[in-house]
Amino acid sequence: MFTKEVVLEKERIASRVRELGQAITRDYAGKPLVLVGILNGAFIFLADLVREIDLPIAIDFIRVASYGNSTRSSGSIRFSKDLELAVAGKNVLLVEDIVDTGRTIACLCDILVAKKAASVRICALIDKKERREVPVAVDYAGFAIQEGFLVGYGLDCAEQHRHYPAVYKITGGI
């Protein structure tokens, strides 16, 4: 059995997503933009975020995994879905649920640069800087949270708990 404690209420998330959408709209005004959601975790955040961006955008997804069924990153990244859109010459905004160790997002940035993206920036719902193993800067961070294993609003534990409308810290019997 596990316990869960609310860390981010759904209203607070909605307000911050609105602010992020406004900032992205302002920063990319007049520029073509491709949002790349990192599956599975970012799908809820991305869906809400795109409705707050007032620009013509293209959307694609990439799927990678580094946690498997564990609460710790394995250190290796497994790809199971690559991009379908060409990103050469385009501004790309990677949308992630959480940036933790930085390994996955750094790898994806390198891949997008190799695909000749005009620019690559990062938007994450949660930025956990204190666990960084690879230096990456989150350009659009929803929230900085320092500790705890988080679930809800797309974040999962072994593919469970994504559906919660808020973000929770879970403990015990995960």
- Quote the distance between the C-alpha of residue 68 and its chain's center: 17
Q: Following DSSP, what letter does each residue of 118-174 receive, concatenated?
A: SEEEEEEEEE-GGG-SS----SEEEEE--SSEEEBTTB-BTTBSTT-SSEEEEES--
- DSSP designation for 90: S
**Catalytic option among 97, 100, 139, 156:** 100
- What gap in Å lies between CA 122 and CA 111, rounded to an integer? 14
Considering just the CA atoms, what is the radius of gyration of the chain in Å? 15
- Whether 156 sits among the annotated catalytic residues: the reply is no
- What gap in Å lies between CA 139 and CA 32, rounded to an integer? 18
Categorise residue 96: left if φ over 0, alpha if ψ from -120 to 50, beta otherwise. beta
Catalytic site positions: 100
